[in-house]
Amino acid sequence: MEKRVRFKGLWLPLLLVMPQLLITAVFFFYPAGQAIWQSLFIPDPFGLSMRYVGLGNFEFLLSDPFYRASFVTTAVFSILVTLVSMGVALYLAVLADRLIKGSGTYRTLLIWPYAVAPAVAGVLWLFMFNTRVGVVTWYLGVLGYDWNHVLNQGEAMGLVVVASAWGRISYNFLFFLAGLQAIPRSVIEAAAIDGARFWTRFRTIVFPLLSPTTFFLLVVNIVYAFFETFGVIHTITSGGPQQATTILVYKVYADGFVGQDLGSSAAQSVILLVIVGILTIIQFKYIERRVHY
Amino acid sequence: MKRVLIAAALSTTALTATSAAAQTEIEFWHDKTGRLGELLKEQVATFNGMQSDYVVVESQKGNYSEVLNAGIAAFRAGEQPDILLVFEVGTATMMAAEGAIKPVYEVMAEAGADFDADGFIGAVKGYYTTNDGQMLSMPYNSSTPVLWVNRDKLQEAGINPDVDLSTWQNVGDVLDQLKAAGVDCPMTTAWQSWVHLENLSAYHDVPFATKENGFSGTDTELAFNGPVQVQHISTMGEWARDGKFIYAGRRNEGGANFRGGDCALFTESSAGYAGINAEAKFEFEVRPLPYWEGVDGAPMNTIIGGASLWVLAGQTDEEYKGVAEFLNFLSSPEIQAKWHQDTGYLPITSAAGDLTREQGFYDENPGTDIAVIQMTANQPTANSKGLRLGSFDQIRGIIDEELEAVWSGDKTAQAALDSAAERGNALLRRFEQATR
């Protein structure tokens, strides 16, 4: 059942979308085109000379087992960040939705962390888990657990996931709460009268009706985990220990801005672009089918 | 720069504007913050105050990597500063950028400045000169790794604080005793690759890379997976697993552990002096970096870390004259001696070292000359005059990763160093391609 509205004329609609098209052209098509062009060269850092290497940069990257391993790291990291931030947010939103007294305060407090920049969030969590003076590390020590994310790869991954997901929970919470409140009470009450308990109601009515929100958040959170978690990784682990937390976007930075290897960095950006494009297509083609609007 | 002059002309009266226009402005970009930043500003102010032809304008552009990036971006936009501070690992990148830099020896010769490159300490100068002895950039802050000792910690553990720590064999015995006495952090380090691989190689006169550590060509290959390095890293790995060596992080995170009094021994740059002196609430001491007894040629000399001043291309002759004068001022014995005494960085000229000794600084602050002695003990060999490798910042990152695998017990020292060399070589080949 598709509803379509048709507008007459060509110029007015074109004029109306022009600002958006311009922005996309300047901030997306132009830099993306530059990245694709540069990925075909090995330039020297100062831009004094450029050597054409065709697909050499891609060959160099894809033949590197550490770069290929970074795909797995990125997948694990993105899935964990998305699951944790959406799962916790949904749980809190369901609780907040049922709250009658003090819900305003509760909501405000939950939304707060969203205002914290990723790099600052990274420093906060790093401080709590600092191997020497971290308060959480100290309590874990009392419990007999020796926390050391500086050498333990699993712990390092856990820490960057939690730090990245934390600020994101607020954002997801807002959307989930709005989604929950848009579900007609009558439907839920009818189910309750039919004898459906909370969990059954949630599974068969609330969650399916929430699916447009969940789908939207899924897309947005994966993009977030891919690109915007850079600040957290940079402040907490710098990609270590070994390469346990080197996600693709961090490697783009490290090779381009620390290593001055602009050809490889550009090629990596192109690869990232392709991956995110494919992911979004998959999401819209397959997952969206299960979404009830 | 024109814009600055116009702004100056607009914001001041016509009278002062003419005097401002008569002065040539020299732009100087650096990374120094905190106490070091203050000391640098003081140097600039002194220079600006003692002559009226030039005015040096310093600006802080972030950390080492960010300064280099800012300089590169500015060069691409045609807005480069006159002087750019570049850390030692960026040396090969700068040298390869022939059209972007103006070698210091040329700047000095053209300005007719009275400049004696031989006055610089050999191991410092060697890092920044061509194979035929021409100085390309001027050393600014240089340091070398030493062993810092918490004497109180040794005493508490029932060890004579004057115990001989000159060799790693002796250090190993002391670590055993510290561990047996229940010390949680017998030893830690900062800058693991710099201290335990780069300096280790130079100190034991074994190559870090072929082609004289990259000095005689970009077709160099990493060679740090030799027996001396493997033995050292392997021993360190055992210490790490036994809890005798505590790894705190890739940069100088270990410094907090030492300054806080947790650790007994700490391998770190001589420039750690300012921080340790300010924060440590225990009796500390500087010792020379230990070496492995029985290795031929050891101890040779250690090499430097730090940064040097590069003059960028594309400025007017007048500005280069000012640059020459400023660089000459910076390397004068008085300025250098003060910098050395305030920061723990090495005096970059022999004259500055002599002046410091005459002023009695070493007598009042025992141990502050150890770094200088360690650097200048021997005439540097092909293996110990420094490193000149492209993409070196990334190679250090690779070494960090592989060493972490050794400390955690995931890899043997040989496997980790072999892997680091192989991965690093791939980057060296790319650098060779990019600069050919």
Higher pLDDT, B14 or B23: B23
- Cross-chain Cβ contact A261/B257 below 8 Å: no
Q: Are residues A53 and A262 in contact, defined by beta-carbon separation less than 8 angstroms?
A: no
pLDDT band at B257 (very low <50, low <70, confident <90, very high): very high
Whole-number pLDDT of residue B31: 94
Among A42, A132, A243, select the one facing B434 at the smallest CB separation.
A42
The ipTM (two decimal places) reads: 0.87
Q: Which domain holds residue A201?
A: 35-290
List CB contacts (< 8 A) between A257 and chain B: 65, 69
The top-level CATH class assigned to B2-142+305-364 is alpha beta
List CB contacts (< 8 A) between A242 and chain B: 401-402, 404-405, 408, 410
CATH, residue A83: 1.10.3720.10
Q: Is B374 on the interface with A (CB under 8 A)?
A: no
Whole-number pLDDT of residue B11: 45
- Cross-chain Cβ contact B394/A259 below 8 Å: yes
B window 81-110, beta carbon within 8 A of A: 93, 96-100
Whole-number pLDDT of residue B10: 44
Q: Pinpoint the alpha helices (H) of chain A.
A: 11-24, 30-38, 56-62, 65-98, 103-111, 118-128, 135-142, 153-181, 185-193, 198-201, 207-209, 211-227, 230-236, 248-253, 262-282
Q: What's chain A's average pLDDT?
A: 91
The total of other beta-carbon atoms located within 10 Å of residue A15's CB is 10
Q: What is the pLDDT of residues B23-38, one digit of tens each?
A: 899 999 999 988 889 9
A9 within a domain of the structure (yes/no): no
A13 within a domain of the structure (yes/no): no
A67 within a domain of the structure (yes/no): yes
How many percent of chain A have pLDDT more than 70? 98
Whole-number pLDDT of residue B434: 83
Q: What is the DSSP string of B277-326?
A: HHH--S-EEEEPPPB-TTSTT-S-----EEEEEEEBSS--HHHHHHHHHH
- CA distance linking residue B312 with residue B411, whole number of Å: 44
Instruction: Write the CA distances from B384 to B122, B357, B376, B400, integer angstroms.
Output: 11, 26, 11, 21
- CA distance linking residue B327 with residue B303, whole number of Å: 23
Identify the residue whose tokens are 């990019």. Answer: B434
Whole-number pLDDT of residue B252: 87
A195 within a domain of the structure (yes/no): yes
Structure tokens given for A89: 């947010």
- CA distance linking residue A128 with residue B417, whole number of Å: 33
Weakest mean pLDDT among A159-163, A201-205, A264-268, B117-121? B117-121
Weakest mean pLDDT among B2-6, B57-61, B283-287, B293-297? B2-6
Overall number of domains in chain A: 1
Q: What is the pLDDT of residues B285-311, one digit of tens each?
A: 999 999 999 999 889 999 999 999 999
- CA distance linking residue B288 with residue A92, whole number of Å: 58
The total of other beta-carbon atoms located within 10 Å of residue B177's CB is 16
H or E segment to which residue B46 belongs: helix B34-50
- CA distance linking residue B266 with residue B264, whole number of Å: 7
Whole-number pLDDT of residue B133: 84
A3 within a domain of the structure (yes/no): no
Instruction: Write the CA distances from B151 to B103, B161, B268, integer angstroms.
Output: 46, 5, 16
- Cross-chain Cβ contact B97/A44 below 8 Å: yes
Which residue in A19, A6, A12, A61 sits closest to A39, CA to CA? Answer: A61
- Cross-chain Cβ contact A260/B400 below 8 Å: no
User: In the predicted model, is pLDDT for residue B280 greater than 60?
Assistant: yes
Q: Pinpoint the alpha helices (H) of B87-165.
A: 91-96, 104-111, 122-127, 151-156
Q: Is B219 on the interface with A (CB under 8 A)?
A: no
How close B375 gets to chain A, by Cα (Å)? 29
Q: What is the pLDDT of residues B354-383, one digit of tens each?
A: 999 999 999 988 888 899 899 888 888 999
Higher pLDDT, B271 or B415: B415
Q: What is the pLDDT of residues A260-273, one digit of tens each?
A: 889 999 999 999 99
Weakest mean pLDDT among A101-110, A194-203, B175-184? A101-110
- Cross-chain Cβ contact A151/B247 below 8 Å: yes
- Cross-chain Cβ contact B433/A150 below 8 Å: no
Given this chain, do its domains B2-142+305-364 and B145-302+390-435 carry the same CATH topology?
yes
List CB contacts (< 8 A) between A240 and chain B: 250, 400-401, 404
A4 within a domain of the structure (yes/no): no
- Cross-chain Cβ contact A150/B256 below 8 Å: no
Domain positions in chain B are 2-142+305-364, 145-302+390-435
CB contacts < 8 Å between A and B, how many? 90
Superfamily of domain B145-302+390-435: Periplasmic binding protein-like II (3.40.190.10)
Q: What is the pLDDT of residues B80-101, one digit of tens each?
A: 999 999 999 899 889 988 899 9
* Peptide bond just before A241 cis, omega within 30 deg: yes
